[in-house]
A and B are shown apart, each in its own frame.
Chain A
């Protein structure tokens, strides 16, 4: 079975500062890992995903995440926060090669201060 823990339900950063959203996973099989973003009253938009290969994954809007198997982590980062980054971010895990059952974390709300 798979599960995800997102550390910190709320993160606040200043505009231009580094964004770091933490995600740790548990999986009995090799995982696929995802980050989704959700803006108010909207569905989820895929930011990036790790399947196989390079462990540093680049996504949309300047975000990237690094898969660290030894730490069972998949933290999301962005060098410089923009006001438009304010949203809810969800980390998710599924078994590799079988995305039928995706498990999501509880989410982290990112606030960006001017």
Chain B
């Protein structure tokens, strides 16, 4: 059983550009959450997608947006990149039996560098 997969592994962009990161959840999971982990810090919650809609959002600007597809995979889009967006972006998948969600399992991450 494949776990959570993310692509690409690494990405280099310049300021002002746009980027799309992709995530495929673990089999049986229907919920995807995205986190930003800056160097030397813990992951920060960006948002969570369930039933193709954003269910909850952390304290991130509108430049950060996402999408969930019918097969439960997800994309994270960041517009107008800033130097401060350089980080490891982690995707986590889980199963939501109700309003909440079960334990989250993380992918290996995408390392984004903004020059």
Q: Which residues of A contact B (CB under 8 A)?
A: 4, 34, 36, 41-46, 49, 90, 92, 95, 97-107
Known pairs A43-B106, A100-B55 / 12 extra A-B pairs, C-beta < 8 Å:
A4-B42, A36-B106, A43-B6, A43-B107, A43-B109, A46-B103, A92-B42, A97-B99, A100-B33, A104-B44, A106-B40, A107-B41
Nearest CB in chain B to that of A4: its residue: B42
Q: Which residues of B contact A97 (CB under 8 A)?
A: 98-100
Contact partner of B99 among A34, A98, A101, CB < 8 A?
A98
9 CB contacts below 8 A, A to B, read A43-B90, A43-B108, A49-B103, A92-B42, A99-B94, A99-B104, A100-B48, A102-B33, A107-B42
Q: State how many angstroms separate the Cβ of A58 from the closest Cβ of chain B.
A: 15
B interface, size bucket: 20 to 34
Inter-chain contact A106/B41, CB cutoff 8 Å: yes
Residue in contact with B42 in the complex, picked from A43, A49, A99, A105, CB distance below 8 Å: A105
- Contact pick for B100, options A44, A45, A99, CB 8 Å: A99
Q: How far is the CA of A46 from the CA of B104 in the complex (A)?
A: 8
Chain B 21-61 residues near chain A, CB threshold 8 A: 33, 35, 40-45, 48, 55-56, 58
Most buried by A among B33, B48, B99, B104: B104
